[in-house]
Chains A and B, each alone.
Chain A
Amino acid sequence: MKNSLLSTLFLLLATHMSCAQENHPPLIETPTEVDYTYETIVDGIDIPWGLAFIAENDFLVTEKTGTLYRVIDGNKTAVNGLPELYVRGQGGLLDVALHPNFKENNTLYFTLGMHLEGEEEGGNTALYCAQINGTELSEVKMLYKAVPNTKKGQHWGSRIAFDQEGHLYFSVGDRGNRDENPQDITRDGGKIYRLNLDGSIPNDNPFVGNDAAKTAVFSYGHRNPQGMTVQPKTGQVWVNEHGPMGGDEINRIVGGKNFGWPVITYGINYSGTPITDITAKEGMEQPFYYWVPSIGPSGMTFSTSGVYKDWQDNLFVGSLKFEYLERLVIKRDKVVKREKVLDKIGRVRNVIEGPDGFLYVAVEGKGILKIVPKA
């Protein structure tokens, strides 16, 4: 009797655990026929990370180990004048983005791993701005640096995006310290930050007035956000973030909100042990969508242009793990379809929509690819 009770309990537990890791619908589809192909715009960039267009056929690419390239008509030149960065683990030169008035001020922003002179060992994510002239940076200025430094290799973030009201957003991951950083608004890490374009902190940021808080923080409870884009119709910031095993998420960012990591998650440790037994809690936001199994999401953009048949308003996310670009169809606030684009192309680190309306994809070992409809 006791034995059967135990085995029932065990069975229940096993069922519960397998439930937590069951594939989350809609299941990914592989189209049998495709009406697009791709062109390689530039190659010879090992780990292309950030991507920002200055004009058609003129864009910037960061290479993780510390080179910023300007690519004009497919020819790349290294840009001079970057600050000395700190490369360790997942950290290095990360995202790059243009000031909304770039045409007038030639200003760009970038995030990178940084160790400042006189600081404790290790590094953390920093946001910089600079002016670019040809392939020279000037007026290089640090706008924010997360503290404290750590020698941990994980979770630096980082992506940069802008809303339509003169704010800059950027992300910093939990820096391998999930127990202390993400849930504590007095600490850096595991946060989405919001700044004015000059680097100052907006007066209406959610934690302004709280003396202990990091007032640049806009939302918290994040793990490692490496995709960020603004929904073109609503102006809301959307983020994707790496979860533990089976807990990658898309989140729609609202100021002051707690996105739950590591108190709630749909994922488990990579060793197979649980992190928490709850996936929801009052006062914590549910993800807009979560991936089981994890796809390793990086980069995110909406296709707005209509240059591709049936892709308008779809969301595109790079998959590092399964080496494809994912297309998500959203209807009535729900993901209703997921499809592989460029299956087995390589680790997809980033995707953005160029000024010509085409999607440009950064693939490790391959460079920057442009998706073109077949004639």
Chain B
Amino acid sequence: MKYGFLLYVIIVEFLVMRFYQQKTLEQSMADGAEIYADFCVQCHLQTGAGVSGVFPPLNQSDYLFEDLDRSIRGVKYGLKGNIVVNDETYAGIMASQGLDDEEIADVMNYILNSWDNSSEIQISPERVANIVK
């Protein structure tokens, strides 16, 4: 009986993983780290510190956490015009990098949980898909 329950849990878990393809946070962050190294690191740097006045920081960034949908929108469609990050104004342009929804979710999860950042919310590809321009 005890084993039957365990088996039930394993099967359900398997089916959920199989059909929803929801990654664990660890897997999403690992995939996101690769995306980060490929598309983001040139400007936002290995430490997420950015370059003061030119490329906004991602580490401990008030702008990033204030409105996660807005941050996702920036990655998905690009970002331009003045933004204020940690009391500093940035006027640059970030082009859309052409990432798909899953890649955006992964890199967001990596950024939201790296360096001194941590987030209780895991970004799903569905959430990214629902964000419009």
Contacts and interface: CB of A to CB of B under 8 A. Distances in A.
A95 interface: no
Q: SS class of chain B's interface: helix, strand, loop or mixed?
A: loop
A116 B89 CA distance: 41
Contact of A89 (B46, B80, B97): B97
Contact of B95 (A65, A86, A270, A323): A65
B87 interface: no
Given A46-B80, A270-B46, A323-B54, A89 B39 contact: yes
A271 interface: yes
Contacts of B78: 46, 65
A177 to B, nearest CB: 12
Contacts of B38: 89, 152-154, 176
A270 B37 CA distance: 10
Nearest to B80: A46
Interface residues of B, number: 17
A47 B95 contact: yes
B42 A65 contact: no
B15 interface: no
Interface in B44-100: 45-46, 54, 78, 80, 91-93, 95-99
Given A153-B38, A323-B54, A364 B93 contact: yes
Contacts of B80: 46, 365
A153 B39 CA distance: 6
A76 interface: no
Contacts of A89: 38-39, 97-98
Given A153-B39, A270-B41, A271-B46, A365 B96 contact: no
A64 interface: yes
A323 B54 CA distance: 10
Contacts of A154: 38
Interface in A50-95: 64-65, 86-89, 91-92
Interface in B1-58: 38-39, 41-42, 45-46, 54
Which of B39, B91, B98 has its CB near the most chain A CB atoms (within 10 A)? B98
Contacts of B95: 46-47, 64-65, 92
A266 B63 CA distance: 37
A153 B78 CA distance: 15
B93 A46 contact: yes
Nearest to B97: A89
Contacts of B97: 88-89, 153
Contacts of A365: 80, 91-93
A87 B93 contact: no
B44 to A, nearest CB: 11
A320 to B, nearest CB: 10
Interface in A315-342: 323
A364 B43 CA distance: 15
Contacts of A176: 38
Given A88-B99, A154-B38, A364-B92, 8 more contacts: A65-B96, A86-B98, A88-B98, A89-B38, A270-B41, A270-B45, A347-B92, A365-B92
17 contacts: A46-B80, A46-B93, A46-B95, A65-B95, A86-B98, A88-B97, A88-B99, A89-B97, A89-B98, A152-B38, A153-B39, A153-B97, A176-B38, A270-B41, A270-B42, A365-B91, A365-B92
